[in-house]
Structure 1
């Protein structure tokens, strides 16, 4: 009798050990890394920062800088520019305009800023997918602008920085495409009484690229370039916030 009970106990213990729902499997499930494959627009990057900002209370007349690497690197090189002002950097390196549009609610609207600076288009042009046109870039810029206006957020649209060539994709010749895109952006901004932030003019050289002394790679500004951008940015922000 005792041997029978012992056998049953061992059987039950062994069954639990090999049971797919056992504690070992639970530990394995808990140790799995969260899969962000569906987060195409990288919404997870600023989610916690956004939650913290909202819990602390957004500063009056705050401004969101929405863009890609130019904005992200700006905060890395000049963090004090953002910390001493009510400026919120929401740049993500490599992003194209439809990704900015997907992020617009989380990284702009939900923060209830006084204004948003939209810098978009270069990575679309640099992608060389064959499907991107300036008109498609403008569609995304228009959608973001309309969403901002709907939520009483002042819109600041950027004339993109001059770029003669992309070091990582020399088959692309972006200079004239950026000039044409900037013309579309400027025309749309004037039609809708949005503020225009001109990054192109103070940085351009005679080849329609960035002035050598102001850039690290012909695409991204160096510290001197960013300081010039700060001057024109502050002026545009002041103008936008005064608009009715």
Structure 2
């Protein structure tokens, strides 16, 4: 859940301010360097805090914002991805849409936002790693919502889109789901956000996916 205040949201709904200065301070890529941007929500943002050693790799740029939905990510995609000229973007989006953080939204519209980000990336010659949504069967901040089946359906839609469009699909879900269609207790304290053990499961998967994306011709 986001700590970004409602008053600030009304002034800067996609939270363009958060990384505006950091983007300007990014050094130019060195010869041969491959810059990777991680675009996402709290799962991405907290990754850098919980396992900072992973993001000690200067080529990895974390652009996660807690609480964000795919609609907000799409609005800041140009500033926080395209304009900093990465070679690959890793997109992890959708769980906060299912939680209705910015209001009800259909799975088709969530996918539409994700597709728009992919299309923007491809137009700007940025390769894409498209992540599955992590498993979840409850939201502590939205106990009335039962997300498990929607997560499965959205992941099927993301996987299908990736396959049809020659995009690398990164399956976190299968590696982390438990027998209740939730995030395994060993991987999370609240059923949504990974702990260090959870991120240690994700890290080799994303590194492999990035390597595969860099080898793609388109």
CA contact (8 A) 1:202 1:228 kept: yes
Q: Of 171, 192, 197, which residue of structure 1 is paired with 2:170?
A: 197
Match of 2:29 among 45, 50, 58: 58
The alpha-carbon distance between structure 1 residues 51 and 85, as it changes in their structure 2 partners (threshold 3 A), is closer
Q: 1:151 to 1:130 in 2, by over 3 A?
A: closer
Deviations 1:10-60 (CA, angstroms, capped at 9, x unpaired): xxxxxxxxxxxxxxxxxxxxxxxxx7742110000000000000xx20352
Which among 138, 147, 171 is matched to residue 165 of structure 1? 138
* TM-score (normalizing by structure 2): 0.92
**Between 122-131 and 92-101, the greater mean CA deviation after superposition:** 122-131
User: TM-score if structure 1 supplies the norm length?
Assistant: 0.82
Q: What residue is the counterpart of 1:143 in the other structure? A: 116
The CA distance in 1 between the partners of 2:72 and 2:62, in whole Å, is: 16
- The answer to whether the 8 A contact 1:167-1:217 is kept is yes
Provide structure 1 residue ranges, at least 5 long, that are not aligned to the other structure.
1-34
Report how far residue 221 of structure 1 moved: 0.6
Partner of 1:46: 19
Q: Which has the larger radius of gyration?
A: 1
- 1:169 Cα deviation (Å)? 1.1
Structure 1's consecutive aligned runs of 4 or more residues displaced over 4 angstroms after TM superposition are none
Higher RCO structure (Cα 8 Å, ≥6 apart): 2
| Residues 1-244 of structure 1 mapped to structure 2, 5 A cutoff | 37-53=10-26, 56-59=27-30, 60-127=33-100, 131-244=104-217
Moved more, 110-119 or 125-134: 125-134
Unaligned runs of 5+ in 2: 1-7
User: Which structure's residues are more often helix, by fraction?
Assistant: 1
